[in-house]
Amino acid sequence: KIISNLKLRASYGLVGSSNFPSAQYYQQFQFSGSYNGQPVLFPTNVANPALRWEEGRNMDLGLDFGLFKDRITGEFSYYRKTTKGALINGGISPSTGFGSGYLNVGEILNEGVELSLNTTNIQSKNFKWVTRLNVSKNYNEVISLDGLTPDAVGGGTNDTRIAEGYPIGTNFLVRFKGVDPNDGLPIWLDKNGFETKTFSLDNRVPVGKILPDYVGGLTNTFSFKGLELNTLFTFAIGGNLYDASAKRQLGIVTDWNIRTDIANRWRKPGDIADFPRLTMSPGTYSGLSSEWQYNSTMFLYDATFVRLREVTLSYALPASFANKLRLQNLKLFATGMNLLTFSKYPGGDPEIARDFENPQDRNMSPNVTYLTTPQQKSITFGLSTSF
């Protein structure tokens, strides 16, 4: 009998979210200081009586299965979530005296597929090998902004935007064509794809992928008598990582350490280089007045990686030995974390993006890294027991 288990499942629900500070629907005031001996009262927000919970409609379809007496089990799922009246801290009329306020805006789509697979590859009296695989593909798109321009939605960095027809936080960057071998100046592409040496944020276009094509993990467990080896690999295939810190570490800077990549810069006429001539003055590059405006695909990298997330080797001592010590069981183990990472990204960690102070900033810049501390490698030795 090939099929040992087969189950279909489906769910649909309407959920709400109130992810914004309390009492934003009415005007709030705060006392601060005094004037002519009288306390000063000033507004702290713009009242929005129409503010409401955002509304999410969730659909989930799935198939659970088992094959060959459940030697192979797994599940396949499809989900779709449509959010209407999404809560954002967006731009409002300057006449209110505030630059932004909480709004219900537009419609956002999230959907994807997920697959998990568990297999018992070998099972004998003394040896067992089990494999677990999970893979997912996710998609995100801004369906509508209700007339708001991309720049009206604040948060994150100037390297990303929210625009209709694109995922939230899509990178909007000036395309970097290369370095002129004659003078070492950068060559850009304007919106129409023509070469120019004048940098302008007006030439930003949507580029790259903020979401990987696939993400997942692979676990293998090998057991032989009391000895067990467990390995976990995680991976992401496709997608891009925008390194915002590289803007200040690859030539246009006065007070930061320089990366070793800068060794492959232009130095003399005829050089074929990856990076423009070294300068301490942003004005050297036409149209660029500050390194913070240097929003370019020069710093957009392939985020594909494979990482040995965890490997654990353990040995369970015989029960007879543990009982002599008046213990029920005793296990010795050694665990290594983040021991190996395979990636083309030259920076710190292809998996870690910048952390922001609030959810909107994090959602606006999901693939932006900025001096983010890499995950630590570690090796731990220990024992576990029960009495």
Total tally of structural domains belonging to the chain: 1
Instruction: Please give the Cα distance from 374 to 362 (Å, whole number).
Output: 18
In a domain, 362, yes or no: yes
Q: Is residue 55 part of a domain?
A: no
Q: Is 206 a member of any domain?
A: yes
Q: Which residues form the domain of 271?
A: 173-387
What count of other Cβ atoms lies within 10 Å of the Cβ of residue 265? Answer: 18
Residue 26 placed within a domain: no
Determine, yes or no, domain membership for 49.
Answer: no
- Half-sphere exposure in the Cβ direction for 67 (13 Å, CA): 10
CB atoms within 10 A of CB 219: 17
Residue 228 in any domain: the answer is yes
Closest CA to 5 of 71, 61, 64, 62: 64
The pLDDT tens digits along the chain (387 residues) read 899 999 999 999 998 887 677 777 778 888 888 888 888 888 887 888 888 888 999 999 999 999 999 999 999 999 999 999 888 777 777 777 777 777 888 899 999 999 999 999 999 999 999 999 999 999 999 999 887 777 666 555 568 888 889 998 899 999 999 999 999 999 999 999 999 999 998 899 999 999 999 999 999 999 999 999 999 999 999 999 998 888 878 766 667 788 888 889 999 999 999 999 887 776 788 887 766 667 899 999 999 999 999 999 999 888 888 787 788 888 899 999 999 999 999 888 898 776 666 666 777 778 888 888 889 999 999 998 888
